Amino acid sequence: DSPLTLAAVDLGATSGRVILGGVADGVLRMRHIARFPNAPLNLTESQSGAQVVPTEGLYWNIQSLFAALTEGLREAAAAAPGLRSIGIDSWAVDYGLLRGGRLMGLPHHYRDGRSSRGVELVHARIDSAELFNRNGLQHLDFNTVFQLAAEEETGFLGLADRILLIPDLIAYWLTGQERSEVTNASTTGLLSVSDRQWDPVVLSRTEIPPEVLTALVSPGDRVGYLTEPVAQRLGISHAVEVTAVGSHDTASAVAAVPFEGSHGAFISSGTWSLVGLELDSAVLSEDARKANFTNEGGVDGTVRFLKNVSGLWLLTESMRQWQRDATDAERSADLQSLLAEAAAVTGPIPIFDPSDDRFIPPGDMPQRIVDWFSERGIVPPRGRPEVVRSILESLADAYSTTIELAEELTNRRVDTIHIVGGGSQNTLLCELTAKRSGKRVLAGPIEATAIGNLLVQARAVGDVDSRATLNDLRAIVARSFAVTEYAP
Ligand code: ADP
Ligand code: LRH
């Protein structure tokens, strides 16, 4: 048995978790300590037609998250007396604004509609082609740069003296140290794709004062030690450090993809599907920009060349709607039975564009899907099993075309698609992906994000050789976790 000396805090949009890990004899062992929900806060809602819309704003419930994760860490410390290090990862782009070390209100959720106003404001100062050349990012209305522009207009940004992305904010609360981890910073739009430093041109054109940003750290760097009050609260009486990991959850997930050679693509499958290739350098061609591919910063200086193709958000949000619609007499279907019914659907199933912007805000997904088809004169899917099947077929189709595009744009050939994350458990989705792409699918590991988080810590604290490459870390993943193969 390897001692569990590391803790991963992985905050996903579906749930947060605290997982202990330890590496011995080249194998990673993990123990799940805590899992807690992460539901956004619609502070005030109003009814607009059939839709419930937030009127004031959509926020993350950061207090509950922090309370749950510290409770998880307390349990982790009790279960692992030799705990040495904690790594924190979370979804990208969102941030807290601080003044004098205090958080100014709840962090906005990226699905809040305000950022489209920010897009107009930013594009008036720097057009999308120049922005892509500087930051290498796909256009997503909710990239931090656009959210901040919307924030600036309300006067809120001007009051802040610090911006910390969510994992950096949590690291600050645990250690008192304000740092910006570079993989997540690469999703803001404020980082230069060429040197991965804050870009002075983007900052000055968007009027973001450079002093609100903090020093950058890389995965493996020490952020700091738990402060005395935090350590006490966690029941810890020895020094425990917070280690920077790929704090962008997708960076950690991709670090844990057990690629077998150079012909693998990845799909990090959860709330989103992040579909693409790992590269050594960014692709900044006009074709890549037009296809809306992104060049996010990965662990060890790699590039995640990918597209955000919606994800299981479409399914979970549909299920929430069915729950809302259910009469007392109806039993709302659980995920497994819905998937079984969807698998049993026969006959042609229409597919839609899962990345259509209308699917981004929370709300009535089944109705929006019906609208998408009706606007095009296509007969929409009828009934829940058909809707679920249509969602999965549409995702699988989008995965296939996105990977084909990535092959063209990079002049590389893909023969294997690795699906990692919670969605790798969705057998039907894996089968459909293999079928539509004509490529072999390898599904797993499920907890890729936490695994990538833990392995970077393991290397940083010396449980794994400090010279280990990403390939060496991936060999540990391959030894430690089974994958399921789906033939084309
Ligand atoms: P995130 O990090 O975005 O919160 P996860 O990687 O935790 O996402 O994946 C969550 C998704 O995984 C859920 O939305 C669900 O659709 C899918 N999932 C979880 N468990 C199962 C399962 N047993 N079978 C099929 N799908 C599952
Ligand atoms: C996945 C993710 C993704 C981002 C989105 C906001 O959790 O981090 O990589 O684009 O959330």
Q: Answer whether 73's CB lies under 8 Å from 230's CB.
A: no
At residue 278 the predicted structure's pLDDT band, cuts being 50, 70 and 90, is very high
Q: What is the pLDDT of residue 92?
A: 98
Model confidence at 349: pLDDT above 80: yes
ipTM over 0.95: yes
267 lines ligand 2 (CB under 6 A): no
**pTM for this entry:** 0.97
What pLDDT digit, counting tens, does each position of 203-262 carry?
999 999 999 999 999 999 999 999 999 999 999 999 999 999 999 999 999 999 999 999
At residue 290 the predicted structure's pLDDT band, cuts being 50, 70 and 90, is very high
The minimum-distance atom of ligand 1 relative to the CA of 316 is: 14
- Active-site residue among 89, 199, 249, 463? 249
Alpha-carbon separation of residue 111 from 132, 240, 363 (angstroms): 22, 35, 11
- Is 75 in a helix, a strand, or coil? helix
- Upper half-sphere CA count for residue 120 (Cβ side, 13 Å): 5
The C-alpha atoms of residue 454 and residue 7 are separated, in whole angstroms, by 7
146 lines ligand 2 (CB under 6 A): no
Give the residue carrying structure tokens 């008036």: 124
Choose which residue among 17, 88, 137, 187 to substitute to test ligand 2 binding: the one with the highest number of ligand atoms within 8 A of its C-beta.
Answer: 187
What pLDDT digit, counting tens, does each position of 55-109 carry?
568 999 999 999 999 999 999 999 999 999 999 999 999 999 999 999 999 999 9
- Give the residue from 181, 76, 66 showing the smallest Cα distance to 460: 181
Alpha-carbon separation of residue 244 from 117, 230, 379 (angstroms): 33, 18, 50
Q: What is the pLDDT of residue 297?
A: 98
Model confidence at 47: pLDDT above 70: no
Q: What is the pLDDT of residue 57?
A: 85
- Give the residue, by CA position, lying nearest to ligand 2 atom 2: 91
The verdict on whether 364 is a catalytic residue reads no
Ligand 1 pocket (Cβ < 6 Å) reads 12-15, 270-271, 312, 315-316, 421-423, 425-426
Q: What is the pLDDT of residue 207?
A: 94
CA of 92 from ligand 2 middle (Å) equals: 5
- Give the residue, by CA position, lying nearest to ligand 2 atom 4: 92
The C-alpha atoms of residue 273 and residue 267 are separated, in whole angstroms, by 6
CA 82 to chain centre: 30
Q: Regarding beta strands 95-99 and 162-165, do their DSSP bridges make them parallel or antiparallel, or are they unpaired?
A: antiparallel
Choose which residue among 32, 334, 335 to substitute to test ligand 1 binding: the one with the highest number of ligand atoms within 8 A of its C-beta.
Answer: 335
- Give the residue, by CA position, lying nearest to ligand 2 atom 10: 92
- Give the residue, by CA position, lying nearest to ligand 2 atom 8: 91
What pLDDT digit, counting tens, does each position of 356-388 carry?
999 999 999 999 999 999 999 999 999 999 999
C-beta contacts of 407-411 below 8 A and 24+ residues apart: 408/287, 409/283, 409/285, 409/287, 409/288, 409/291, 409/293, 409/305, 410/277, 410/279, 410/283, 410/305
Give the residue carrying structure tokens 């009790």: 78
Percent of the chain with pLDDT over 70: 96
Q: What is the pLDDT of residue 154?
A: 86
Residue type at 415? D
- Give the residue, by CA position, lying nearest to ligand 2 atom 9: 250
303 lines ligand 2 (CB under 6 A): no
- Give the residue from 24, 19, 20 showing the smallest Cα distance to 5: 20
CA 157 to chain centre: 24
